[in-house]
Amino acid sequence: MENDSLSRRPFLHRCLLYGTALTLSLGMSLPCRGKPTSKPNIVFVLTDQWRAQATGYAGDPNVKTPNLDALAAESIHFENTVSVCPVCTPYRASLMTGRYPLSTGMFLNDLYLPAEELCMAEILNKVGYETGYIGKWHLDGHGRDVFIPRERRQGFDYWKVLECTHQYNDSCYYAGDDPTLRKWNGYDAYAQTKDAQDYIRSHAQADDPFLLMVAYGGPHFPHHSAPQELKQWYPVDGIKLRPNVPEQGQDRAAKEAQGYYAHCSALDRCVGELLKTLSETGEAENTIFVFTSDHGEMLGSQGQPSYEKQRPWDESIRVPLLVRYPLLAGHDGKSVKTPVNTPDLLPTLLSLAGVAIPDTIEGEDLSRLIQDNKTDEDRAALVMSVSPFAGYSGGKEFRAIRTARYTYVCDQDGPWLMYDNQMDPYQMNNLIGDADHVRLQAELNDKLQSKLKQTGDLFFPKHHYLMEWGYSVDDRGCIPYFYQHSRQAKKPEDFKVQSPANKPK
């Protein structure tokens, strides 16, 4: 029988959040090659559905990403970075708060992240940062093309944002406090990049540092909408698929991959433009530049749909993560195998910037890895699917850990998947129940259980968490959403904002 006190857990989390005192220190220092004379700028590039394998520097035989390859050569490349919950809104909430999805209740798409959650821009605002956000938000929960007022922007000042769209050639946004719906010119990532370049130029050499988030919608499907001239780089009959794509799915996977890789190359151009502007303005040395994604893309691997995520395999859970900070770490890149999880990103950035980490944050500060050549390959990163939705066939909940070498996954029936990713990089040999790996399975299970205990996750079925947080979902397991300015989905009058803030007590 479930413990009655569990129903009070979200309420207690909120009490802790309200009662936490935030102390921000300006005196924190880190060993560095040339000690920063001022706090660093932060340019954070967030892509959508870009799997870790899909770059030139990661060894993909298809994709052309010269700018990212050059960036990797002078960055810290975190090889084993995973998405804590490989789908858009849960990842973004975890990134902004440094907290796990079951701590905030943000484990489904199209939820509203409550204003009382302490987020990245709010923390940095308090120590003098200018803050800007351009692109896809997907944390407001009031509809996918509805104006987001200042009080729901989690501390960001400069604002050119739409909640969510993947109509890359017909993409809209709101600017600042003007509720007029505007449209990006052409392919939206190109226009968003130009705006980000203008932001960098206007803030270059200023007294106050800046945080600029650039959140692109690609390479998330629809893949066919990628720039035509870039799709021509990837003829379908020349696509080399991963060995774990079954034969019966290869034709579709190759067709999808053409557009997917074209989106990747388009965004690679955008990254190159941002880096060029930082260099031209003299801001490159004292800017922390981050490139990553919210989750990956199956593209037919393991026989899964070509556009699917929310799966426990590496194509879904592993994401790229490059961190460049020349003034601290120099220009010599290196790879780090220590697993990194989504909640770790915020405390690590704060530490690199010399900003104290609030008590609300649950992730670990991994800034030591920027200069420390020692790695913790046994560190386990938690991955979860709390309440699968939107086409995740079978709707299987799972909890998983990813170490530098192993993947271990449990579903509601017990151990499900186990891979030695060093010996089996395409995860084609499930070792669960294998007589030669009984001890390894027990060790990994202990690691998973320890991680669940650490995060207060009792791994109940999805219905428990939907009831606990007061969420109503449709027959696909989705939080209903609407488009106000199109004929898609629901009408505003039929829509109820769902968030941890308005759940039943």
pLDDT, tens digit, for every residue of 396-428? 899 999 999 999 999 999 999 999 999 999 999
Angstrom CA distances, 202 to 132, 210, 220, 395, 491, stand at 12, 11, 30, 47, 40
Burial class from Cβ neighbours inside 10 Å (0-12, 13-18, 19+) for residue 12 reads exposed
Position 283 in a domain: yes
Catalytic residue among 13, 77, 138, 223: 138
Query: What is the pLDDT at residue 315?
Result: 98
Omega before residue 222 within 30° of 0, cis:
yes
Query: What is the pLDDT at residue 390?
Result: 80
Burial class from Cβ neighbours inside 10 Å (0-12, 13-18, 19+) for residue 128 reads middle
pLDDT tens, position by position, 152-185: 999 999 999 999 999 999 999 999 999 999 999 9
Strand ranges of the sheet holding 321-324, from the earlier edge strand across to the other edge? 178-183, 172-175, 158-162, 130-136, 210-219, 41-48, 287-293, 321-324, 76-78, 334-336
Position 264 in a domain: yes
Q: Tell me how many degrees the CA angle 217-140-266 measures, rounded to the nearest 5.
A: 10
Catalytic residue among 88, 164, 264, 410: 88
Domain with 347, as residue range(s), is 38-377
Split into its structural domains, the chain has a count of 1
The verdict on whether 85 is a catalytic residue reads no
State which H helix or E strand residue 411 sits in: strand 406-411
pLDDT tens, position by position, 10-52: 444 444 444 433 333 333 334 344 445 579 999 999 999 999 9
**Residue 307's domain is classified under what CATH number?**
3.40.720.10
Position 383 in a domain: no
pLDDT tens, position by position, 222-233: 999 999 999 999
Position 366 in a domain: yes
Position 420 in a domain: no
Position 181 in a domain: yes
The verdict on whether 32 is a catalytic residue reads no
Position 48 in a domain: yes
Position 443 in a domain: no
Q: Which residues, in sequence order, are CB contacts of 171 under 8 Å at separation 6+? A: 162, 165, 183, 184, 188, 217
